[in-house]
Amino acid sequence: MERVLVTGGAGFVGANFVHHLVGRTTADVTVLDKLTYAASEASLAGLPPDRVRLVVGDVADQTAVDPLVASHDAVVHFAAESHNDNSLTDPGPFVHTNLIGTFTLLEAVRKHDKRLHHVSTDEVYGDLELDDPKRFTEDTPYNPSSPYSASKAGSDHLVRAWVRSFGVRATVSNCSNNYGPWQHVEKFIPRQITNVIDGIRPKLYGSGENVRDWIHADDHSSAVLAILERGRVGETYLIGADGEKNNLEVVRLILKLMGRPEDDFDHVNDRVGHDLRYAIESGKLRQELGWQPQFRDFESGLADTIRWYREHEDWWRPHKDRTEAAYALKGQ
Ligand code: NAD
Ligand code: TDX
């Protein structure tokens, strides 16, 4: 696969993937990104300009998508509206990008017979009880809660229908919560790190007992690359690194690592319909494709991430005030 089209490559997970791909393969990469509020061109800084180019465009715009798909060997589809809280205040862009965008891409890969990998989320499965011994598997029924997760669930169904009905050569992955560099300050971990840097107390939604299954974004990238290279067409792979932690534990760890008292945070209004727990069983990916996560120690991965935000204030500062102002309006 010498020419890879990466949609949403100026966002968090997409940018991590582009860095990973360029470092580990000889592929030339085109990033197709609308450069929404969530994107940052600076996330692609330092990559070789002869191997990586950015095309600004909408994945739901057939005239932009069709010629790009035609001129590449494979497409990795990250572009999405990704923030649950935003989907609760304005769901329209989620339907546009996550559903119409995926549909548009599917029609182009069908027409040009190109390989597609569709990047999705564990949130399509809904949530688990705290004491449920089961974790999500590839066989768990879909049961999404928010407009965001419903739109991602719909996009997964579109991909499977295009595989079965039209023979499109696609794979799907559903990953748990990512952390690492280049994540927008609206998201939980970067929000709290940059709050502490700014002398603002971290903000915990509700009780803080909600559990997320954390994975480093570079491990997500290596899993997506393994699926792109060796995954079986038509299959879905769950991606996770056994990283379950509740939000209270994560806030306390951030405070400890940043030299603050561990109770120096506020409880704020809970998210409407807040999913309680996500947990991934990733045995299929590990056994079939031999994938393993490299970041196994959450505390040291989090310490690296804190260091990255301390050293890259120029990257996140332009987004911080507007993000906090929007949260303040909601009592969060
Ligand atoms: P993000 O919001 O940081 O980045 C999304 C990117 O998509 C941005 O660069 C944005 O400009 C671009 N984009 C949005 N609408 C577009 C459009 N219409 N056309 C072209 N580009 C558009 O999101 P993220 O956290 O990097 O998530 C990327 C993908 O990974 C999503 O599909 C998400 O569902 C999936 N995912 C994310 C996580 C996570 O923890 N962040 C976990 C599992 C799956
Ligand atoms: O300030 C906060 N305080 C807080 O307690 C924020 C922003 C979040 N939270 C909680 C809500 C969640 O329980 O932290 C947890 C993580 O929140 P987010 O970072 O918003 O992530 P989440 O809603 O779990 O979804 C993420 O993982 C799955 C990504 O944003 C999705 O794109 C991905 O599909």
pLDDT (mean) for 236-242? 98
pLDDT beyond 80 at 94: yes
Q: Which ligand is nearest to the CA of 77?
A: 1
pLDDT (mean) for 27-53? 98
Q: What is the dihedral of CA 288, 294, 299, 303, to 10 degrees?
A: -140
Cα separation of 194 and 181, whole Å? 13
The answer to whether the CB of 14 is under 6 A from ligand 1 is: yes
pLDDT (mean) for 81-107? 98
Cα 119 to middle of ligand 1, angstroms: 9
pLDDT beyond 90 at 84: yes
User: By the 8 A CB rule, do 225 and 6 touch?
Assistant: no
Read off the tokens for 21: 């791909």
Instruction: Give, as one character, the DSSP assignment of residue 322.
Output: H
The answer to whether the CB of 305 is under 6 A from ligand 2 is: no
User: By the 8 A CB rule, do 184 and 14 touch?
Assistant: no
Nearest-CA residue for atom 32 of ligand 1: 78
Q: Which of 219, 216, 237 is nearest to 118 (CA)?
A: 237
Cα 8 to middle of ligand 1, angstroms: 6
The answer to whether the CB of 81 is under 6 A from ligand 2 is: no
Residue 81, pLDDT score: 98
Residue indicated by tokens 């939000």: 247
Is 122 annotated in the active site?
Answer: yes
Cα 52 to middle of ligand 2, angstroms: 30
- State which of 88, 127, 188, 251 you would mutate to test the pocket of ligand 2, scoring each by most atoms of that ligand within 8 A of its C-beta: 188
CATH assignment of 3-178+215-239, among 3.40.50.2300, 3.40.50.720, 3.40.50.620, 3.40.710.10: 3.40.50.720
What ligand 2 atom has the least distance to the C-alpha of 120? 34
Q: How many Cα atoms occupy the beta-carbon half-sphere of 59 within 13 Å?
A: 31
pLDDT beyond 90 at 289: yes
pLDDT (mean) for 6-22? 98
b (16+ CB within 10 A) / e for 250-278: bbbbbbebbebeeeebeebeebeeebebb
pLDDT beyond 80 at 55: yes
Strand (E) or helix (H) holding 76: strand 74-77
pLDDT in tens, 181-197: 999 999 999 999 999 99
pLDDT beyond 80 at 242: yes
Phi, then psi, of 118 in degrees rounded to 5:
-100, 120
Q: What is the CA radius of gyration of the chain?
A: 19
pLDDT beyond 90 at 109: yes
What ligand 1 atom has the least distance to the C-alpha of 77? 32
**Crossing angle, helix 247-257 and helix 188-197, to 10 degrees?**
30
Q: Is 328 left (phi over 0), alpha (psi -120 to 50) or beta?
A: alpha
What percent of the chain is predicted at pLDDT more than 70? 100
Residue 39, pLDDT score: 98
Q: What percent of the residues of the chain are helix, what percent strand, and what percent coil, each to the nearest 5? A: 45, 15, 40
b (16+ CB within 10 A) / e for 52-63: bebeebbbbeee
Catalytic residue among 28, 81, 122, 156: 122
- State which of 17, 18, 30, 36 you would mutate to test the pocket of ligand 1, scoring each by most atoms of that ligand within 8 A of its C-beta: 36
Q: How many Cα atoms occupy the beta-carbon half-sphere of 178 within 13 Å?
A: 27
Q: Which of 287, 183, 274, 276 is nearest to 238 (CA)?
A: 287
Binned at pLDDT 50, 70 and 90, residue 1 comes out as confident
Residue indicated by tokens 């191997």: 51
Cα 271 to middle of ligand 2, angstroms: 9
Phi, then psi, of 289 in degrees rounded to 5:
-110, 0
The answer to whether the CB of 121 is under 6 A from ligand 1 is: yes
Separation in Å, CA 48 to CA 22, 23, 60, 73? 8, 10, 28, 20
pLDDT beyond 80 at 332: yes
Residue 138, pLDDT score: 98
Residue 86, pLDDT score: 98
Domain ranges within the chain, ordered by starting residue: 3-178+215-239
What is this structure's pTM?
Answer: 0.99
Q: Is the dihedral of CA 263, 269, 271, 272 positive or negative?
A: positive
Is 148 annotated in the active site?
Answer: yes
3-state secondary structure of 77: strand
Please give the mean pLDDT across all residues of the chain. 98
Residue 239 β-bridge partners = 175
